Chains A and B, each alone.
Chain A
Amino acid sequence: MSIIKPAPAAATGNNVAGGQLTGTGGKSRGPAKKHFGIHIFLTVMAAMWLIPLVWTIFTALRPKADTDKYGYFSLGGTFNFDNFVQAWTQGGFAQYALNSALITIPSVVLVLFFASMMAFAVSRVNWKFNVTLLIMFTAGNLLPPQVLAAPLFEMFKLLELPYSVSDSGSLLNTYISVIAVDTAFQIGFVTFVLSNYMKALSSELTEAALVDGAGIWRQYWEIILPLCRPALAAMGTLEVIFIYNDFFWPLLFIQSGDRLPLTTAVNNLQGQFLSNYNLIAAGAMITAIPTLIIYLLLQRHFVAGLTLGSSKG
């Protein structure tokens, strides 16, 4: 991954960004013996790190009848995926998963579109307020969301919509409210990262295009954006995770349980399945699956995104 990395993270380095999970490096320090203690420490830590997840999976795989009979802390009984099937069908997870997709996909597309335009304008064109605006965008992303909760809630409540568009008669309880705020909140961060990336691209690229009479839009869409593909892939992956994992905005805006995305629906697991911890564990694992799949497939982009723009709060 050859990100020509300009972001503040690791700005001292030559070949940073991406690839830290590959674990190569060619620095050999000391004989293998010296690493013995390190290995023991790391193994103990890794085991401790895995315990909560392994325990959740273990509980999820056991039928409730077996854990009632043998106790949760036992190996007796059978192991199967019945809890997953039951949680999925009884818990309305199909609907939650659809809701998550309906919120996450448009939000990420909008964030990348708006942020890349803004980043282009502040990094490739010189005008009076470009740095001021960039600071405003970056700061906005760092605010705790609770700071703007009340006014946003009231604004959305007061904005009257025809009942044919929204059954609440306002923006509340709609996917649009969550998409809009998620987009607004994330634009700042992505703009910051992409603008740093674009600044590092040679200005000759667009100078030449200017001589050829290419307008601003063509410079942006046909020259700069294609060059930003690695950064866009990294930011896209990161934003899918951030927005999928967003708990707060749906909690605030959405009242009908069947419109919640997976992450926020997690809040209701305990009420739904009462003290059936096997089902709760299965529900929790279902919620984790999309992020774990992305982790396995796009780990490189995700880590590159984090290190590229580690301004994220």
Chain B
Amino acid sequence: MSTSTNTSPARAQRPAAAPAGRVRRLSRRDKWVLSFMVGLPTLIQLILVWIPTLLSAALSLTRWNGLSLDDIKPTGVDNYEFIAQNYPPFWPAVQHNVLWLVFLALIATPLGLLLAILLDQNVRGTKIYQSIFFTPVMLSLALIGVIWQLFYNRDSGLLNFLLGTAGTPQAVDWFGDSHVNIWAALIAATWRHAGYVMILYLAGLKGVDPTLREAAQIDGANATQTFFRVIFPAMRPVNVIIIVITVIESLRAFDIVYVINRGTNGLELISALVIQNLVGEGQVIGVGSALAVILLVISLVPITFYLSRAFGKDKEA
């Protein structure tokens, strides 16, 4: 941001007081046009995103079978009590979401960073490597579930052949066995996440001022010190985004487990439980909404963190 000359006037216009004259120059017609330009997208956003979010919170305090609006009965916090005490899949789902986060944060994200660092060294064929690691990012997580199913399958999957267990009683149904399927799903999710992190860090590394690296080397820092003391801190904006993406991806994880077994039998996630309570027989909208609100409250942590970085005062740093 420091180099392009045309950012400075843009920056100057941000303080509200400065361009007051500008607003006065808007004609009546301009104001109508502007209200349309702002009003229409805002209306869409309110009706289809924020009002439903508030309605979720309201429905979570009721009992409803989803049929007639007259059937909605207020129940206070009963749904939350039910979830915490009498709903067996809930705590496993929380554990799985936490595991998902820890796995992405400790394995997938560092792996993506490592790939980015290595590929930033100008190795031969770097473009080919990058394309390979990046390909899964183009695929939907639902499709990734199907592709890995073919790999993990008990009878025809490649993994059991490679382990020599295919056709024997030791063959593992990696997505079906509730002891291992969460790990199998996490590896499949890593396949995509690491490529995503890699591409963001590659851009971040290219953006680091090369004189920083030179200065550190002149000061006698070795490669590791240079990276962790100089380069990594200099990529702060990218780091913030990676943290947010990692947390939010682990809360949003849904498609892959839904494709495997609808989020049951070892693959429970909060997001999948929300949907299990909303569709199918015996709809319990109240319970589903309460789960949605729990998911919402947890999500607000990374969202607030991100917004404070993106819109806070230190934005220009």
Enumerate chain A interface residues (CB-CB to B < 8 A). Answer: 4-6, 8-17, 20-23, 25, 27-29, 32, 35, 38-39, 41-42, 45-46, 49-53, 55-56, 59, 67, 72-73, 114-115, 117-118, 120-122, 125-128, 131, 133-140, 142-155, 158, 180-181, 183-185, 187-188, 191-192, 199-204, 210, 215-217, 220, 241, 244-248, 251-252, 263-264, 266-267, 269-270, 275, 277, 280-281, 284, 287-288, 291-292, 294-295, 299, 302-303, 306-307, 310-313
Measured between C-beta atoms, what is the minimum distance from B193 to chain A in Å? 12
Partner of A148, one of B12, B25, B49, B236: B49
A sample of 25 cross-chain residue pairs with beta-carbon separation below 8 angstroms, ordered by A number, consists of A8-B240, A9-B241, A10-B207, A12-B207, A20-B130, A20-B206, A55-B158, A56-B147, A140-B49, A142-B303, A146-B254, A148-B56, A150-B55, A150-B292, A151-B56, A203-B10, A216-B33, A245-B139, A252-B279, A266-B259, A267-B258, A275-B155, A295-B135, A311-B310, A313-B244
B50 within 8 A of A: yes
B42 to chain A, nearest CB (A): 6
Interface residue stretch chosen among B73-81, B84-92, B102-110, B119-127:
B119-127
Question: Which B residue's beta carbon lies closest to that of A207?
Answer: B22
CA distance A191 to B188 in the complex (A): 31
Say which residue of B19, B45, B311 sits within 8 Å of A188 (CB atoms). Answer: B45
CA distance A126 to B199 in the complex (A): 35
CB of B45 within 8 A of CB of A143, answer: no
CB distance from A167 to the nearest CB of B (A): 20
- Does residue B218 face the partner (Cβ distance < 8 Å to A)? no
Report how far A29 CA is from B293 CA in the complex, Å.
51
A52 cross-chain contacts in B, Cβ below 8 A: 147-148, 150-151, 188, 191
Measured CA separation A280–B151 after assembly (Å)? 12
- B98 near A: Cβ within 8 Å? no
* Residue contact A280 to B203, C-beta cutoff 8 Å: no
Decide: B44 and A183 in contact? CB cutoff 8 A: yes
8 other A-B residue contacts (CB within 8 Å) besides A42-B115, A138-B311, A275-B155: A13-B206, A21-B130, A25-B122, A39-B123, A150-B55, A292-B135, A310-B200, A310-B245
Interface membership of B70, Cβ < 8 A:
no
Q: Is the CB of A14 within 8 A of B245?
A: no
- Residues of A contacting B129 in the complex (Cβ-Cβ under 8 angstroms): 42, 46
Within 8 A of A (CB), among B273-317: 274-275, 278-279, 285, 288-289, 292-293, 295-296, 299, 302-303, 306-307, 309-311, 315
Number of A-B contacts (CB under 8 A): 385
Contact partner of A6 (CB less than 8 A), chosen from B7, B234, B241, B303, is B7
Interface string of B232-248 (1 = CB under 8 A from A): 00111110110011001
* B277 CB to nearest chain A CB (Å): 9
| B residues less than 8 Å from A28 (CB atoms) | 122
Q: How far is the CB of A275 from chain B (nearest CB, A)?
A: 8
Once the chains are docked, how many angstroms separate the CA of A312 from the CA of B303? 11
> B16 and A126: CB pair below 8 A?
yes
> CB of B264 within 8 A of chain A?
no
A13 with B207: CB separation less than 8 A: yes
* 0/1 interface trace, chain B 122-145, chain A, CB 8 Å (1 if under): 111011111111111011111101
Knowing A9-B238, A200-B7, A266-B259, the reply to whether A152 touches B42 (Cβ < 8 A) is no
Tell me if B166 is interfacial: C-beta within 8 Å of chain A: yes
- Residue of A at shortest CB range from B126? A23
